[in-house]
Amino acid sequence: MTSEQVFRKYSEAGVDIDRGNAFVERIKPLVAATHKRGVLSDLGGFSGLFSLSGEHVNNPVLVSSTDGVGTKLAVAKLMNRHDTIGIDLVAMCVNDVVVCGAKPLFFLDYFASSALELDQATEVLRGIAEGCRQAGCSLIGGETAEMPGLYQPGDYDLAGFAVGICDRDMIIDGSDIRVGNKIIGLASSGLHSNGYSLARKIFFETEGRKVDDYVAELGRTVGEELLTPTRIYVETLVNTLRRHRINGLVHITGGGFLDNIPRVLPTGCVAQIEPGSWPVPPVFGYLQDKGQVSPLEMYRTFNMGIGMIAIVGAREVEDLMQQFEAFGEKAYLIGEIRAASPGKAVCMSGLC
HEC string of the chain equals: CCCCCCCCCHHHHCCCHHHHHHHHHHHHHHHHCCCCCCECCCCCCCCCCECCCCCCCCCEEEEEEEECCCCHHHHHHHHCCCCCHHHHHHHHHHHHHHCCCCEEEEEEEEEEECCCCHHHHHHHHHHHHHHHHHHCCEEEEEEEEECECCECCCCEEEEEEEEEEEEHHHCCCCCCCCCCCEEEEEECCCCCCCCHHHHHHHHHHHCCCCCCCEECCCCEEHHHHHCCCCCCCHHHHHHHHCCCCCCEEEECCCCHHHHHHHHCCCCCEEEEECCCCCCCCHHHHHHHHHHCCCHHHHHHHCCCCEEEEEEECHHHHHHHHHHHHHCCCCEEEEEEEEECCCCCCEEECCCC
Structural class in CATH, domain 10-167:
alpha beta
At 310-347, the pLDDT tens digits run 999 999 999 999 999 999 999 999 999 999 876 678 88
Q: What is the mean pLDDT of residues 276-284?
A: 97
pLDDT digits (tens, 9 = 90+) for 178-200: 999 999 999 999 999 999 999 99
Contact present, 129 and 139 (Cβ < 8 Å) = yes
The answer to which of 35-49, 117-131, 230-244 has the lowest mean pLDDT is 35-49
pLDDT computed for residue 348 by the predictor: 83
Helix axes 85-98, 234-241, angle to 10 degrees: 20
What does the alpha-carbon distance between residue 124 and residue 69 come to, in Å, rounded to a whole number? 12
Mean pLDDT over residues 11-23, rounded? 76
**Residue 10 confidence (pLDDT):** 67
pTM: 0.93
Average pLDDT over residues 112-120: 93
The pLDDT value recorded for residue 297 is 95
Alpha carbon distance 52, 24 (integer Å): 26
Q: What pLDDT shows up at residue 347? A: 84
Instruction: Assess whether the region 10-167 and the region 182-348 belong to the same CATH fold.
Output: no
**Residues 6+ positions from 257 with CB-CB distance below 8 Å:** 273, 299, 300, 303, 304, 306, 346, 348
Strand partners, 144: 111
Domain-wise residue ranges, the chain: 10-167, 182-348
d(CA 188, CA 73): 19
Contact between 305 and 279 (Cβ < 8 Å): yes
CATH topology of domain 182-348: Phosphoribosyl-aminoimidazole Synthetase; Chain A, domain 2 (3.90.650)
- The stretch 92-107 carries a mean pLDDT of 98
Higher-pLDDT residue of 290, 26? 290
